[in-house]
Amino acid sequence: MSERRTRRQAALEAAAKANEAPVTPSSKDVNTLTSNGDGNGQAVLSSDTQVDSGPKENIFLFWPNIIGYSRIVLAIASLYYMPLHPRTCSLLYSISCLLDALDGYAARYFQQSTKFGAVLDMVTDRCTTSCLLVFLSSAFPRWAIIFQGLISVDFASHYMHMYATLAMGGSETSHKNVDKSRSWLLNLYYTNKTVLFMCCALNELFFIALYLLSFSSPLLSPQLLKPLGETKAAAIQTGAQVNSSVLRQLFTNPYSAGALEMARANKMDSTWPWIIAGVSAPVMALKQFLNVLQLVKASRWLAEGDVKSRRAAGLPKKKAEKSA
């Protein structure tokens, strides 16, 4: 009897100890529940759990980036119409440029400012302007070197500025954060939205005006033409548009530079293009000056970083140290 009672008591005592023993959390629970650092033992979610529990976002489908894609589509469409349809091309190109201001507003409104969106915006600007300048080089071959220079300065200045910002300012620094001590003019250009919009808009407007002027010039290099008989020559009237069928008779290749130049001649009046070019020319000159200034400042910033790096590395080393 006493033996049974002893076994029963031992079993009850073992069960009581099992209930009082602390529960050891699993490794998954340890990763999920951690102390909040104040010593009060409150459970908080770890950083991994917080990331997983948040809403998954697709950066490529943010509204500002969608606007950026539409800009690219409009720019490509304008390039298609660029050789012979000035009005359609100018309309599509202008809308693409104006959307550049809308994507920035959308980024602030929807809180969707991203590094990808900033780079997409800059690359789109550079490519569209360069494509228009390439066309102007072919439309005004005598001034091609000027347009080639503008393309080179535009690409070089923005690349140097972006690289200097990343290398010297860090990956979290925006290329628009230009310190006043480096250049108050660049600081004003990048921080004042009105100044930035007017400079970019009037710069593009100047090149659009030049593009339209290429459709009002009747001048053509005579050496581009092949010899004509009197019958075919009589089909061309001074100051009139040339039918495409006539072009095939005049030129060995109807898509040659001479054929396209004649097709563009006298397609529109030059009054408004000249007015637009005259109004926007000073701002265009200012924009090119800012490009050169940006290139110089970025180069100096990178050079300053190189000097600091060489000093930190003890360069240049003395000849005795080299031989040792």
Mean pLDDT for back-to-back runs of 10 residues, the chain (324 residues): 55 60 48 44 46 76 96 97 92 95 91 92 95 93 94 96 91 86 94 94 96 72 46 53 59 65 72 93 97 96 94 84 57
Q: Which element (helix H / strand E) includes 45?
A: strand 43-45
179 is annotated as an active-site residue: no
Distance CA 273, CA 280 (A): 11
pLDDT of residue 217: 58
Torsion 172-176-181-183 (CA) sign = positive
CA atoms lying within 13 Å on the CB side of residue 310: 9
pLDDT of residue 293: 97
pLDDT of residue 302: 95
Distance CA 37, CA 190 (A): 42
Helices within the chain (DSSP H only) = 2-20, 27-32, 47-53, 63-81, 86-109, 115-139, 144-164, 184-191, 193-213, 230-233, 244-250, 257-264, 271-312, 319-323
Angular region, 237: left φ>0, alpha ψ -120 to 50, beta rest: beta
Which among 38, 125, 154, 179 is annotated as catalytic? Answer: 125
